[in-house]
Structure 1
Amino acid sequence: MFLQGQGFHSIFVNGDRFFGDFYSAGLLHLVIPLKKGKNKFLVRVVRGAFKLKLIRTEETCSINPRDMLFPDLRQDTLIDSYGAVVVLNHTDRVLKNVRLEFGDDEVFEKTEIELNPLLPYALAKPAFPMKQLRQPRGNELNDVGQHSLVITLLHQDGSNNNSTTAVSLALSVRAKGHQYRATKKSEIDGSTQYFAVVPPRNFDPKKSYALYLSLHGAAVEATGQAACYQAKTKAFCIAPTNHRPYGFDWQEWGRLDALETLNLVINQHQIDPRHIYLTGHLMGGRGTWYIGALYPSKSAALGPAAGWITFASYRDVIYGKIDLSNTPFASSDLENDVFGMVENYTHLPIYILHGEKDSNVPATESHKIVAKLEKFHQNFIYHEKTDAGHWFGNESVDWQPMIEFFRRHPNPMSPLSIRFKTPNPSISSTYAWATIHSQITPEELSSIQADAYDEGRSKLKPKILRDCN
């Protein structure tokens, strides 16, 4: 039996817990075991109304048509990337000899992959290569200019339970210069992920360009984030996905996904390393503060918009002040201590944007960090848009004064004076020419003060660390 639904955190079926669709993305398509007679469903609802639907199936396995991932086709290039589909085991036994077939050696090279054995009632999302051989012809496009492909799932176990299912998908074909979706096989976990790209106007592959890495907010897809930007004459706008359509808070794999996407685009195009900028809205604004603090030399400037600063500061706004300082959560959440690492922004120009009447993330969140910056920072702007709420159109992210601020601030690359803190060298260890290799006291912020001189000498003032160079 399939379960489809949205608008709930999780569901218990006869006491067994299954994940839900928190943001009503419409992707949920699960196999659930039912018993004869009465079955009990307990739904944990988080945002009001929810939907549930049960669908009977006779196949041993299938493809989830709601959660397929493919790159856009582009008129100016041939795709050589990856796609992925979710495969579900409908049975109470391990399924072997399950294969996926894709392509017909016409538009795409024919590919066949054998899946790892599928555990009972489990799902997998295997990545498979997509090598485009030629552009689709006019008669191979539908009425809206999309190219249709068929993916076939085959299961053969030598019994009468063999099954073959196929799903059809339509790939958009993007004109030269238009926004597009690209995919990658992530080195984090081998999964297929996507990111959205707004190429520069009149893009010339021989020229060097700036890069704006824009982090999306909660319940916002990377494609939606990128769609808010007008194409720039001298810059790429790149929106990573936080390692799923929505991801969460740009921590852990979200942080790694953002950095992986950044490095991938740098390797694919001629990006000027002195003109890489980090920005984002809501959860992406928080991600800008967070990633900017951990890796201050990766960006020339920061542009957080409507972002909360830390979980603790935002939680206090919603639930009132809660003291977790003496709990295990405090040490495990040390990497979130943006206030403790605020001096890492010393050489980073910052443009902060917030709506005066933001009821989602109150402007007081930005006021907290501004109060810290005012004590030492020499190059930041805080703009609070009068009478504006949480979202005031595309300029909530594509704010032209912020873009102009970016253009005026190239990265000095190697500042002579460094003030740097890290929660853990395995997360962030290097700022420009200084590296922290290990800590004497784990679960505390380690800091380094270093000054370089014209004669090539340097002066270090380390604290709670070992082996720095």
Structure 2
Amino acid sequence: MQKLLASLALSFLSTSQLWAQTTPEPVRPTAYTFTRGLVALTGSRYGREAIYTDPLAYRLYSGTLTAPAEGAAFGTDDQGRAITWMAVAADSLGRLRLRGNNRGNGGAPAGPGVVAGSLRGGIGGGGGYTYLTYPSSREQMALLTIKGNSNVYVNGELHMGDAYNMGYLHIPVKLRKGINELYVRGIMITATLDFPNKPTLLSTDDPTLPSIRLGESNNALQGALVVINASTKPLTDLQLVSKLAGKSQTTTLPDIPPLSSRKVAFGFDGSGVTEKGPHSTELSLIQKGKMLDAGRITVEAVPPGASYSQTFVSRIDGSLQYYAVTPQSSVNTASSALFLSMHGAGVEASGQARAYKAKDWGNLVAATNRRPRGFNWEDWGRIDALEVLAIARNQFKPNPQHIYLTGHSMGGHGTWFLGATYPDKWAAIAPCAGYPTLKEYGSADGVIPDTSSNPLEQMLLRSGNQSDVLKLTANYKPLGVYIFHGDADRTVPVTYARQMRKLLGQSQPDMSYYEYPGGSHWFGDHSVDWKPLFDFFKWHQISADSAVNAIDFTTANPGISSAYRWASIEQQTQPLLYSRIQLTRQRSSITGTTSNVSLLKLALNEFGAKTLVTITLDGTSALTYTTASAQDTVFLHRESGQWVQTKQPDTWQKGPHRNGTFKDAFNNRMVFVYGTKGTKDENDWNIQKARYDAETWLYRGNGAVDIIADTEFSMTSYADRGVVLFGNATNNAAWQALLADCPIQVERNRIKAGSQQWQGDDLGAYFVWPIKGSKTASVAVIGGTGLKGMKAASANQYFAGASGFPDFMIFGLDMVRDGSKGVRMAGFYNNNWQLAPEHYVVNGQMRGSN
């Protein structure tokens, strides 16, 4: 019988496809599990940097990838050994895994920052691809669910992967009649296809929900869940009806593009709930009075005083996020403290909050980092923490002198990072089991590269300088620092705590350190809820600005962190190199030194009105200024080595409000705009890339984003919103409105950047540009000169936490094969958004001083 089945399969499949699929598609299937495939340890380099390499993707993009077959050679590795396609079969858990000693990183041992996801070949270096096929008897829609991968090409179209095995990423795909090919970046995966009997689905396995707090009104709560459009037409005119304890609410939903998913917010009324515990909520998806799908979710009701979750609308993308609270136990909350706690990788904020017993002197609030792994508390995780901090300050009205920061593991890193980045926001910080920097520890996306002798790579590495807290340790001096670590921690070794104790020991005036004897990475709730830690907090308070007359502050990016107290670094001389100010304020003067500062703002409110103030910086000639009011501010600009008074710069210039780097546009309720004016292949790539980035944003950032065609975009309708534009000037009709005055122009077969120009269809680009008429919003371009160049821009490791991307980067398809050798130009605009030779590198040669 087995031979007969194999013979029948051979009549339909090629030899290369036999290992990937030997069972014909059943009639009207409901689900299919892949049980056989092929694996090649091709290697790849995706991480916390702008450059990526991927031998298989290069061959796929260049049209040179040959059909896999068992035993066939793919190529050779960096040691000259043959890479071959090897057969894999599912184990008892359904995982397609290699037998024996084969490993996804070529057998190299995993370092302390490498997790299982890296060994499966996805996010970090090494790894490989799994090849699967599915023979479909007809063209049809399906939901693809893969776990343990970083991404997947389905018939050439790139989709996000479930690197962390969460199980809630269900990708709608259109299968063609005949053989469908899947190249899955990752090994030891599980993969299934589901064939739903309806094109529109409510997915209830990844909700974002608040708690019902008994004793509160609960009549206007908001939750969010995923709606899947498994059809080739956009979903419009949608409504979601919720029913809970006899109360109904109807919410109008945004449009959902074809073959995509979106997490949508909906309202529900919990005022009918009177008992604690789980409560089932009915959900109905309606379109013009017709039921499309229905489902249920469970909402938890908690009694007064218990930890709870609360949702809010994020200004990053307009999506619904949540934070968790362990409320103060004391009835008297006047002048209470506020503790901001940050969770570790894989931990929910709700679980983080529950790890703390209620304090009688303050409320504890746990932010989410956008996901249990999210962004390592950098990038959008950093913004999430700041959003929650602002909400908590408004909600609880704490004593502004009693704000504290703590966190565990990845949240310990977040504590080090946010403590150094915003030292005037905290009275004290307490990293628990934390690592200081992603340059050393790394985690799932790998480490941040440290140094390079290549000028172009040096330029690219600058973009991540803000993440290196070891360069920012002087910023801790005004804070109390409590370092807490288990001495038997094998996940984040105690050597990281000892490193920081040694580094701060000579300079930190206020530090306490404790190693918990025998403590592993987590040794119970007291891994974070440690009484001596909170006692240390109680002894500390934030000084009033009027009492702080000495400033020592360093930043790498004023767009992330510009100010400490009464001084602000508004612009830099060299973009994203470290800038430092050391200032002393006396009765009628300010003196001090600066480094890499072009524009400085000083608040003079402590001097009073009509006061003559003398300002002496860097040993240059003194400036005198008479304050016009008790709330006066002065701007100083460095010109030819001298400091001169200047007026406040126009908002068009770079500054804390908008300082660039490519990722800056992924904010301000961003909208994805794909081009429709190119060839069919170009248009297909534009929308497919927009969908891929939206899938990634949903998976990594619990986010939602509007995806629109270029013909739908207008400056008026999307005013002050960030824009991510897919395509080029030839094929995206929104280009002219957004980028007509940009010195970088990309069109079919040509890129021009100032005086530089490149020809061909294989060039790609990432760059940012401020949007005219907006004081804050930017547009990011992801595109190329032709299909090869556009495909070279397919990777989106800009969503990896702390990955460094400059203002602009122009590269060829050869970058996917050769790394930095394939980058044509990279760097930063000057403070007037102009291309200046001293701020960029062309073809590996510096055009000015670094």
Tell me the TM-score normalised to structure 1 length. Answer: 0.90
Specify every segment of 5 or more residues in structure 1 that has no aligned partner in the other structure, as ranges.
Answer: 139-143
Counterpart residue number, 1:207: 334
Superposed CA deviations along residues 14-71 of structure 1, whole A, max 9, x for unmatched, are 333322222223322221222233333333337xx54333221121211111112221
Counterpart Cα distance in 1 of 2:397 and 2:387: 16
SS at match of 2:297: strand
| Greater alpha carbon shift after TM alignment, 404-413 vs 146-155 | 146-155
| Equivalent position SS for 1:40 | strand
The answer for the alignment partner of 1:56 in structure 2 is: 195
| Aligned equivalents of 1:184, 1:320: Cα separation in 2 | 32
Structure 1 pair 59/225, CA: closer, same or farther in 2 (3 Å)?
Answer: same
Could you tell me which of 123, 128, 133 is aligned with 2:266? 128
Range with bigger deviation, 276-285 or 411-420: 411-420
| Distance in 1 of aligned mates of 2:434 and 2:274 | 45
Shift of 1:417: 1.2
Aligned-partner residue type, residue 377 of structure 1: Q
Q: How many residues align?
A: 452
Partner of 1:153: 285
Distance 1:86 1:291, change over 3 A: same
Which residue in 1 is equivalent to 2:689?
Answer: none
Show CA shifts across 1:365-397 (max 9, x none): 222222221121111122222232222111111
Q: Deviations over 1:291-325 (max 9, x none)?
A: 11110000110101111111112249x88996347
Match of 1:77 among 212, 216, 231: 216
Q: Which residue of 2 aligns with 1:368?
A: 499
CA distance, structure 1, for counterparts of residue 305 and residue 206 of structure 2: 27
Q: Which position in structure 2 is the counterpart of 1:441?
A: 574
1:131 is displaced (CA, Å) by: 5.3
1:26 & 1:181 partners in 2: Cα distance?
23
Query: What does 1:341-352 correspond to in 2, within 5 Å?
Result: 341-352=472-483
- Which residue of 1 is the match for residue 154 of structure 2? 13
2:423 matched to 1:287? Answer: no
- Match 2:317 to one of 167, 189, 195: 189
Instruction: Give the match for residue 429 of structure 2.
Output: 302
Indicate conservation of the 8 Å contact 1:278/1:299, yes or no: yes
Q: What code does the residue aligned with 1:219 have?
A: G
Cα contact 1:286–1:308 (8 A) shared by 2: yes
| Residue equivalent to 1:119 | 257
| Distance (Å, rounded) in 2 between the aligned partners of 1:440 and 1:321 | 24
Partner deviation per Cα, 1:395-445 (whole Å, 9 max, x = no partner): 111122111111111112332211001112111111122222211221211
Which one-letter code corresponds to 2:273 in the other structure? P
Report if the CA contact (8 A) 1:82-1:185 is conserved: no
Distance 2:569 2:449 in 1: 34
Q: Aligned runs of 1:268-283 on 2, under 5 Å?
A: 268-283=395-410
Give the structure 2 partner of residue 141 of structure 1.
Answer: none
Q: For 1:101 and 1:297, locate their aligned partners in 2 and report how far apart those are by CA, in whole Å.
A: 45
Query: Using a 3 Å threshold, how does the CA distance of structure 1 residues 101 and 319 change in structure 2: closer, same or farther?
Result: closer
SS in 1 for 2:485: strand
2:252 is paired with a residue whose SS is strand
Counterpart residue number, 2:326 = 198
Aligned counterpart, 2:690? none
TM alignment of 1:254-403, pairs within 5 A: 254-315=381-442, 323-324=451-452, 326=454, 327=457, 328-403=459-534
Conservation of the 8 A alpha-carbon contact between 1:71 and 1:183: yes
- Going from structure 1 to structure 2, the CA distance change for 1:322 and 1:146 (only over 3 Å counts) comes to closer
Matched residue of 1:297: which SS? Answer: helix
State how far apart, in whole Å, the 1-side matches of 2:481 and 2:295 are. Answer: 47
Following superposition, the deviation at residue 208 of structure 1 comes to: 2.7
Is the Cα–Cα contact under 8 Å of residues 424 and 565 in structure 2 kept in the other structure? yes
Displacement of 1:178: 0.4
Q: In the superposition, relative to structure 1, how do residues 106 and 208 fare at CA in structure 2: closer, same or farther (>3 Å)?
A: farther
Structure 1 residues 319 and 439: CA distance shift in structure 2, 3 A: closer
Letter in 2 for 1:305: C
Distance in 2 of aligned mates of 1:107 and 1:78 = 13
Deviations, residues 108-135 of structure 1 (Å, cap 9, x unaligned): 5x2230422x222111122234455x34
2:551 to 401, 407, 418: 418
Report sequence identity in percent.
35
The correspondence for 1:180, drawn from 288, 308, 314, is: 308
Does residue 65 (structure 1) correspond to residue 223 (structure 2)? The answer is: no
- Tell me if structure 2 keeps the 8 A contact 1:60–1:163: no
8 Å contact kept, 2:356–2:528: yes
Q: Tell me, in whole angstroms, the C-alpha distance in 1 between the residues paired with 2:200 and 2:449.
A: 49
For residue 363 of structure 1, report the CA deviation from its aligned partner.
1.8
Q: Tell me the CA shift for residue 181 of structure 1.
A: 0.8
Residue of structure 2 aligned with 1:89, choices 204, 209, 229:
229
Contact residue 199 and residue 231 of structure 1 kept, 8 A: yes
> What is aligned with 2:242?
102
Partner SS state of residue 189, structure 1: coil
Residues 1:237 and 2:237 aligned together: no
Q: Kindly provide the amino acid, as one letter, of the partner of residue 571 in structure 2.
A: S
Is contact 2:214–2:274 with CA below 8 Å preserved after alignment? Answer: no
Displacement of 1:163 after TM fit? 5.4
What does residue 536 of structure 2 align with? 405
Amino acid at match of 1:60: P
Is the contact between residue 193 and residue 244 of structure 1 (CA under 8 Å) also seen in structure 2? no
Greater alpha carbon shift after TM alignment, 354-363 vs 6-15: 6-15
Query: What value does the CA root-mean-square deviation take over the aligned residues?
Result: 2.4
- TM-superposed deviation, 1:156: 4.9
Letter in 1 for 2:556: P
C-alpha distance in 2, partners of 1:78/1:260? 24
- The Cα of 1:336 is off from its aligned counterpart by 0.6
Give the letter for the 1:294 counterpart: T
Give the letter for the 1:155 counterpart: Q
Seen in structure 2, the aligned counterparts of structure 1 residues 319 and 258 have a Cα distance that, compared at 3 Å, is closer
Structure 2 regions of 5+ residues with no counterpart? Answer: 1-141, 603-850
The verdict on how the C-alpha distance between 1:441 and 1:300 changes in structure 2, with shifts beyond 3 A counting, is same
Q: 2:173 aligns with which of 22, 29, 32?
A: 32
Equivalent pair of 2:253/2:264 in contact (CA under 8 Å): no
Q: 1:61 touches 1:163 (CA, 8 Å); kept in 2?
A: no
Partner SS state of residue 53, structure 1? strand
Q: Quote the Cα distance in structure 1 between the aligned partners of 2:372 and 2:227.
A: 18
Larger radius of gyration: 2
The answer to whether the aligner puts 1:431 opposite 2:569 as a matched pair is no
Change (3 A) 1:437 1:97: same
Partner of 2:592: 460
Give the stretch that moved more between structures: 6-15 or 177-186. 6-15
Mapped to 1, the partners of 2:231 and 2:447 lie a distance apart of: 43
Mapped to 1, the partners of 2:448 and 2:384 lie a distance apart of 32
How far apart, in 1, do the equivalents of 2:143 and 2:356 lie?
A: 39
TM-score (norm 2): 0.51
8 Å CA contact retained: 1:146, 1:170: yes
Structure 1 residues 361, 385: CA separation in 2 closer, same or farther (over 3 Å shift)? Answer: same
Q: Is the 8 A contact 2:344 2:372 kept in 1?
A: no
How many angstroms does 1:335 deviate by? 0.7
Change (3 A) 1:177 1:87: same
